[in-house]
Structure 1
């Protein structure tokens, strides 16, 4: 393969231009392929066919290639290889003709381009200009395309322009590459089909499939070979495989040095095999080894329906009754079998069909009587599924024969999800040399765009999004969401219009065809001082804003260089330029050597600590970080607080290598001024926030050599999130294993405590052992996980802990001893031990699960409670707290900064968010990844300042309550009043109540100021043609242990009774709690929405009273609710509390506490998973008291702490005005104290 191609192009236009394809240009695809692209005329609908003919001009004028296309094709690829007689020959002129014909075959016109192809070697001394361009020569092949335009607009008039020269760089590829995109599809128990993408090389003779049994270690290096009978085929069927086995599969191409088009050519002769593809694993398994029989006498499930259908889950509803109790065989369990077919178009435009089924294991359901439901997860978006629900028994205990009832069947299609990953655009990197004028910079570039697969659902449109960066610096690996840039949309295309090649910066406009937007996007010319990033998105309008962005590409605007008048002058100038550059480099090296020598000569033997020479910094860092990483607590009196140390050091220390020191322009903020400072930053749409965040030193001047070693690269979850060498966690090296001391983790400083944290990525399967080894070696006792395992159907972290029992990871044995799942976080307790050693340690694993899949938390209350919980669980003498999310930079940074600053609040009256983030950026890259996260830290700290420390140990509650009730400084105000008033500081915006304020829904609200938030409101199934039919004034509320454990709602109005029962049915409610009488103080508080003596119908639902029980403080009623559409029924229990006075609150809380306990005991005994509905009149005051005490009392039992303030504040983020009056607020405190009064060990003397 030659090093370079030099291609001279002569372009000649014919005189007739009615149907001429224009802008025929050459584009380099790879080292073997030259791609032609062209534009069609504006009257494209008049075109019937487009013809592209390549003719080699010479003695024979032979045609190399001739193809015709319909009027939607605008691209053709040609092979460039001197060994191929059917490709472009070296030292030959090739004529490309582009023609169009109209529908009638008339008006045929053509445009002709002549290419002269010449081969150049990189060591050819006659081309010194190549040697003078080391940036382009580095690991690239140069392709010089000289385009000479000769325009002939009229038969008698010729106009000649001087040539334009383009440099195009082509990635150097293997001369014998492996096939790509290899995948294996199971056909049956012994057969698979292998697919691959073709190798674009003119000498490919055939493809060879290599496969062996993965479990057969004796055959590990022995491969069975198979080649399809059709040499050009890109798929093959392999049969005769062993069932229940796993096979390694690889594919290679065979390249021939002979003429493969010769009819006498025999594959395998005069050939060599190319590189092998990556191994793909084929899993050959049987669906079942059981022998299946159906018995019509067995009872079968019936009325199989579904609700809550999402893109990856569905809830199945059905009935099961043993209809033949005298039959000698009874159903032992129910099984769900399902299969799905997914039809889609992949990114290459190929229609594909994929099957999905639950072969990994059947879903077994206990065969209990009555109405049942079952949540099926792990489904695939955009897939048509068939579910079969059957009852089963075994003919005998040891028999493989299974006997099934006839199945109940249902078919459904899962919802759409965000489009899959979109390949990032590719830039055509070329430098234009002009013939005259001053040197300028290109204002447009060519980009290749790639389609996304419709695997997750249809794609509506693509947007080309540009991010302009003012200063060009080393930021090409910064994650997109981590950079604040000027952003605009350059173009929009619907799914069918997306071009293969897009000219960015051509000044053209595209319009959004959405009738709700009518937006026009201008593809503005690019600025000469800008660095551009391009992002493409796929949108799916079937469901709102299902978007996916591609990875970004740094588009470098390469300068236009003045073209000399002739080639000799041009070469001379390049020689002169090269000599000047060489002299400059020599002078620069000499100057650096002299400066370094003088500095070394003048350097004192022991430099004072306040003036560390810059050239010693790497050594100081290395020595410092390779010492044993034992966290060092610094006393409050010490001046060596890490953030302050950074501020006070001169600019030549390692902390402040950059020329400017922006950290000194953002001093700490006093807590009394923090609220006002926050409002100033948020003004003008967070303009000053953006400025402050952008000015933070990215800290990328540090090295990360260990992360770049080839043997360490697989240990990094993301290629651009690395571990700085000076702060990385260094594991004990294992003899004979390169890189065994490496893990993608860094030590981070806390408040007055060095190495207080370890920030790391979510462990990968190949780093599980390293992760647990790090926990052991650093003596860490607490792991903080800030992500779920999967978010938005994307894997964020692999499960590195045992779900039950014990697992061994490398040398560490990990045993799960306890697990508690709460509404916003989970806590696991592990016992870990080094295999073979008696010592055991306890490690807590705290996983925060309330962080949304996209963006940040709307309120910081639950996050602050989690941070404080971690602080309590982490022993004082333990090693660093290990914190991770997915990449270990974004949410991880939020946790570490907030935790450190909460510690600072205990001892100081100032807050330094800017300084602490800057400090951490010098220890791990991209810490606090986005501006959103940076603002969230401010909001969280502001909330912590305003709320204060309100959590108290349960045993101190009496003392705390006495203090709250004491007047302040002989005034009439008490701390209790001030604490309650602080709850009203946050005012909700009208935009949070969109559905509630809809004119079609306003009459459904009992009070105009007690409305559900849009993000927590309970949604009903909409009724076709009825506006607002999905609305009811009700809100989901999180309990202490269960998310959405309650529904807080108003007392139903006459107009909303039907909606109330619809909510009860659709959301699987089995318990209703009522905290008001129907009338109080002569006013209606609630409509009677239940029957007393006989059944009543509410919409589709028939409610039958089953029984009523008068208890000392409440009335318990049971109802049978039946859906008249399908006959399904359910039991609902109704608790009416009768002891709440019409004014004020109960005098004692004992009775109300007992009532709360009875409700929850009934819920647990009932065995249903639906929420508890709680209402009073407005669904705010008494409802809030019930919810607050439910959470507070359960937290006392689990944690032994009380925090009424934070509990109410958290509840109010889910529904306004919960706990409406100060009397109700104080009643919560008193009731908690009465509850503790029954436990002597809790009450202080």
Structure 2
């Protein structure tokens, strides 16, 4: 997109500001309406430029573009606005068609994929049949040559043309009927076929298309389909039309067979129901109403519930709900996506991510449970207002049924479904974020299900939209219908919050404790950049949730996307404790048979894989503070078969983290490169500290500094390099603009004869750094550090602040301190000063490169707080998390070992039992 504009007539701008953003909605390959927000981007161009080209835009997307002329005084000027829609493009890749088997010896039942409309609305689909072995790729066949094959010929042909949104999920290939002007020709015996589907986007200029891969080899000699009257329907496509295969006269000859099959089915159903009743009475102490599920043909079957047992006792027979589904209702997708060995998981993910995640796209779009389910209770008029989203409903067969309230229609309904975990039926309840009118129902569900944990995967508001209504008291006690909820404790961590409630029902004496875990680090759009904080959140829940509690209740906004992620990741982590495979595809398929849309986007599906891989690589490295000494002793021993110590192995895992170059954008711009002390230590674009740009100065918003989370607060620290002579002014701008009143310096100006940090502060008299005058006030020489106080004044308006610099001078020029005691005292003093003066801004920490000693300071700060609050230590995950925010944090194995020793000294310094 190329923008051009004219110079304003009554204004002499110093530069132009271009902002553009978009918000896109489209139907994906499963008929689900997806919402795809984009970052708002800002570009500044010089005043002598009146044209700018924006690249990397998404096809078929409406962008809102503003161009603003900025005058010399930076005052506001209204922008010129324009909305531009980018051109359509060929649809994204599709999955291959599949076969369910033969029918009547004359036809094949095939499953047809659909295409995502992300790049433009699909106009129509072609179903193409290739007899024998194809001579070229699907993309190379033209409609002209496919249409030219005579009826008696043996060449490639089109078996049907289907309008947008009328593409059947299953199709009778060879029924000799006409579809969209093309005859679905009879198939020949002893003839092999391959098929593919072509999705066409029509533009004003030309037709754009994408063809699916070829199906596997097909022939009439294939085994008969198991249930020809029950075509699998995509559970995600709620409102899409169901295409029923035409009934031919030949079917009437099979009437006797149909009657026989129905009779046998009834007998099997009766036997299944009897077994179910016996098992349910024997195993289930807490009754849970499970309704019948209807197949598309109207047959009624019963979902049998297996007793959840100790996983270690289940090696001789399948009891995992996903394994049972693979045995009893395996879809073609599940057949072609078996469980993945843990040893192959990393390579498997790498293959799926190749070519811009093409295989991930195909795999995700092929997921469907192969059944159709009813949601009659969600559609009752009295229940419709209880659904946050009209298209996110609760299937009847798996919905949570509340105890009805007297004379209140629909009082047994809540938009919530039981979901299976690893080797445990109904391990979770997936539900929507409560509405004002459903808060009472939500707490009734918590009470009736005897749940001890509620997991909240959303903020109350995101991108100015209400995602969930506050269903808990901010303080004291609130009554929600018959339920009384009292807030007793709040524990805030940088990435999550734990709230503890006491729950009581009217008319009951007993009270119960319930904890709510709210993950606050999930971004407003997309998925987290790295799974480490999420995995820490999950481990904390797992450690606290009582083993005898009822189902864990999970919700986000709709209760399907992030909720599905949580359930699958937690289940897979549990699985790898007992098996050497993971089955993400199978588990998502299983969940979609219990609640629609579970795992709502391809990005979420990819994030699940990344999170499970991270959990497999890292393992559980958290130890009790009491056991830290024994843990360190184990780490110092050589790992069998590795010839290195456990400590070295742990650090190697941390150092193995790879970051693609595209994560560093501003740092690599030509106008910024000279501001970096080391070219291999750069801030990630996503966490870099941005300065207020100076008009007319390219790169003036850049400094080599990163925001880093603390134990309690997000962005609690700024980790930065020791200023260079060229960046001292930027350093003081950062201190002022980001309200940082404490500086921690962990290097001398010179070490080993080399410049490590420019002296960026005045020693005797005040000195000006661009807008800011820095005046030394006092200096205290402490045993291990120097405390300097400065008065910093903004010369533009005269405002002043006190900034304190803690300069640690006892770090040796080589290696690490022999003892951690003095450094811990230093850390304690820094944080005590911040608390004493009630300052809210981040603590700025630097050494020379801003990663080694800086990483040690921040890591130990977090570790010490975790010991105080949780009584546990997890240095490995702490450092790994820091490295997702700034590369290279805790730079050497010596520094890593020092962190362990210092933490142990801290624990040993007091009686831990108190």
Do both proteins adopt the same fold according to a TM-score greater than 0.5, normalized to the shorter chain?
yes
Aligned pairs for 1:1116-1135 (under 5 A) are 1116-1135=787-806
Pairing partner for 2:313 from 599, 612, 636: 636
CA contact (8 A) 2:322 2:590 kept: no
Question: What secondary structure sits across from 2:844 in the alignment?
Answer: strand
Partner of 1:606: 271
CA contact (8 A) 1:1034 1:1049 kept: yes
Aligned pairs for 1:452-463 (under 5 A) are 458=81, 460-463=83-86
Partner of 1:692: 363
Would you say 1:1035 and 2:658 are equivalent positions?
A: no
> Taking structure 1 as reference, are residues 636 and 922 closer, same or farther at Cα in structure 2, changes over 3 Å only?
farther
Partner of 2:101: none
TM-score w.r.t. length of structure 1: 0.54
Partner of 2:656: 985
Q: In structure 2, what is the Cα distance between the partners aligned to 1:604 and 1:1124?
A: 85
Partner of 1:755: 426
Question: What secondary structure sits across from 1:707 in the alignment?
Answer: coil
> Taking structure 1 as reference, are residues 588 and 463 closer, same or farther at Cα in structure 2, changes over 3 Å only?
farther
CA contact (8 A) 1:980 1:1222 kept: yes
Question: What secondary structure sits across from 2:605 in the alignment?
Answer: helix
Question: What secondary structure sits across from 1:460 in the alignment?
Answer: strand
CA contact (8 A) 1:643 1:915 kept: no
Q: In structure 2, what is the Cα distance between the partners aligned to 1:530 and 1:1089?
A: 71
Pairing partner for 2:600 from 929, 932, 935: 929
- How many angstroms does 1:870 deviate by? 0.9
Partner of 1:803: 474
CA contact (8 A) 2:456 2:556 kept: yes
- How many angstroms does 1:632 deviate by? 6.3
Pairing partner for 1:1186 from 857, 877, 884: 857
CA deviation map 1:799-825 (0-9, x unaligned):
111111111111110111111221111
Pairing partner for 1:646 from 292, 312, 324: 324
- How many angstroms does 1:595 deviate by? 5.1
Name the larger-Rg structure: 1
Partner of 1:485: 115
CA deviation map 1:346-389 (0-9, x unaligned):
xxxxxxxxxxxxxxxxxxxxxxxxxxxxxxxxxxxxxxxxxxxx
Q: Give the unaligned 5+ runs of structure 2.
A: 1-17, 28-60, 67-77, 99-112, 125-142, 145-157, 167-177, 184-244, 280-291
CA deviation map 1:376-413 (0-9, x unaligned):
xxxxxxxxxxxxxxxxxxxxxxxxxxxxxxxxxxxxxx
- How many angstroms does 1:692 deviate by? 2.1
- How many angstroms does 1:690 deviate by? 2.2
Q: In structure 2, what is the Cα distance between the partners aligned to 1:839 and 1:1019?
A: 53
- How many angstroms does 1:1154 deviate by? 0.7
Partner of 2:540: 869
> Taking structure 1 as reference, are residues 1120 and 1000 closer, same or farther at Cα in structure 2, changes over 3 Å only?
same
Would you say 1:682 and 2:353 are equivalent positions?
A: yes
CA contact (8 A) 1:1037 1:1211 kept: yes
CA contact (8 A) 1:484 1:690 kept: no
CA contact (8 A) 2:326 2:334 kept: no
Q: In structure 1, what is the Cα distance between the partners aligned to 2:817 and 2:599?
A: 48
> Taking structure 1 as reference, are residues 456 and 786 closer, same or farther at Cα in structure 2, changes over 3 Å only?
farther
CA deviation map 1:1161-1187 (0-9, x unaligned):
111112121110000011010000001
Aligned pairs for 1:1061-1210 (under 5 A) are 1061-1210=732-881
Question: What secondary structure sits across from 1:830 in the alignment?
Answer: strand
Larger helix share, 1 or 2 = 2
Q: In structure 1, what is the Cα distance between the partners aligned to 2:899 and 2:165?
A: 55
Partner of 1:833: 504
Partner of 1:518: none
> Taking structure 1 as reference, are residues 713 and 593 closer, same or farther at Cα in structure 2, changes over 3 Å only?
farther
> Taking structure 1 as reference, are residues 531 and 1187 closer, same or farther at Cα in structure 2, changes over 3 Å only?
farther
Question: What secondary structure sits across from 1:1132 in the alignment?
Answer: strand
Would you say 1:788 and 2:459 are equivalent positions?
A: yes
Aligned pairs for 1:100-499 (under 5 A) are 458=81, 460-463=83-86, 485-487=115-117, 489=119
- How many angstroms does 1:1033 deviate by? 0.6
CA contact (8 A) 1:422 1:451 kept: no
Aligned pairs for 1:835-914 (under 5 A) are 835-914=506-585
Question: What secondary structure sits across from 2:577 in the alignment?
Answer: helix
Larger strand share, 1 or 2 = 1
CA contact (8 A) 1:421 1:452 kept: no
- How many angstroms does 1:900 deviate by? 1.0
CA contact (8 A) 1:844 1:873 kept: no
Count of residues in Structure 1 that have an aligned counterpart in Structure 2: 716
CA deviation map 1:985-1027 (0-9, x unaligned):
1221221111111111111111111111111111111111111
Q: In structure 2, what is the Cα distance between the partners aligned to 1:865 and 1:582?
A: 56
> Taking structure 1 as reference, are residues 959 and 743 closer, same or farther at Cα in structure 2, changes over 3 Å only?
same
Q: In structure 1, what is the Cα distance between the partners aligned to 2:252 and 2:855?
A: 77
Would you say 1:1001 and 2:672 are equivalent positions?
A: yes
Q: In structure 1, what is the Cα distance between the partners aligned to 2:62 and 2:757?
A: 59
Q: In structure 1, what is the Cα distance between the partners aligned to 2:740 and 2:62?
A: 48
- How many angstroms does 1:1239 deviate by? 2.9
> Taking structure 1 as reference, are residues 450 and 899 closer, same or farther at Cα in structure 2, changes over 3 Å only?
closer
> Taking structure 1 as reference, are residues 1058 and 636 closer, same or farther at Cα in structure 2, changes over 3 Å only?
same
Q: In structure 2, what is the Cα distance between the partners aligned to 1:1203 and 1:965?
A: 16
Would you say 1:1230 and 2:860 are equivalent positions?
A: no
CA contact (8 A) 1:862 1:1210 kept: yes
CA deviation map 1:245-274 (0-9, x unaligned):
xxxxxxxxxxxxxxxxxxxxxxxxxxxxxx
Q: In structure 2, what is the Cα distance between the partners aligned to 1:725 and 1:976?
A: 52
Partner of 1:205: none
Q: In structure 1, what is the Cα distance between the partners aligned to 2:293 and 2:464?
A: 47
- How many angstroms does 1:971 deviate by? 7.6
Q: In structure 1, what is the Cα distance between the partners aligned to 2:801 and 2:256?
A: 87
Question: What secondary structure sits across from 1:816 in the alignment?
Answer: strand
Aligned pairs for 1:465-544 (under 5 A) are 485-487=115-117, 489=119, 529=161, 532=164
Q: In structure 2, what is the Cα distance between the partners aligned to 1:1092 and 1:1168?
A: 25
Q: In structure 2, what is the Cα distance between the partners aligned to 1:693 and 1:1163?
A: 49
- How many angstroms does 1:919 deviate by? 1.5
- How many angstroms does 1:462 deviate by? 3.4
- How many angstroms does 1:700 deviate by? 5.0
CA contact (8 A) 1:1070 1:1170 kept: yes
Larger relative contact order (C-alpha < 8 A, sep ≥ 6)?
Answer: 2
TM-score w.r.t. length of structure 2: 0.72
Q: In structure 1, what is the Cα distance between the partners aligned to 2:816 and 2:262?
A: 83
CA deviation map 1:213-247 (0-9, x unaligned):
xxxxxxxxxxxxxxxxxxxxxxxxxxxxxxxxxxx
CA contact (8 A) 1:745 1:761 kept: yes
Q: In structure 1, what is the Cα distance between the partners aligned to 2:435 and 2:382?
A: 15
Q: In structure 1, what is the Cα distance between the partners aligned to 2:182 and 2:905?
A: 85
- How many angstroms does 1:596 deviate by? 5.8
Q: Which moved more, 1:458-467 or 1:1048-1057?
A: 458-467
CA deviation map 1:20-74 (0-9, x unaligned):
xxxxxxxxxxxxxxxxxxxxxxxxxxxxxxxxxxxxxxxxxxxxxxxxxxxxxxx
> Taking structure 1 as reference, are residues 743 and 417 closer, same or farther at Cα in structure 2, changes over 3 Å only?
farther
Question: What secondary structure sits across from 2:576 in the alignment?
Answer: helix
- How many angstroms does 1:794 deviate by? 1.4
CA deviation map 1:687-730 (0-9, x unaligned):
22222222222455122111111211111111111111111111
Would you say 1:621 and 2:302 are equivalent positions?
A: yes
> Taking structure 1 as reference, are residues 994 and 421 closer, same or farther at Cα in structure 2, changes over 3 Å only?
closer
Aligned pairs for 1:969-980 (under 5 A) are 969=640, 973-980=644-651
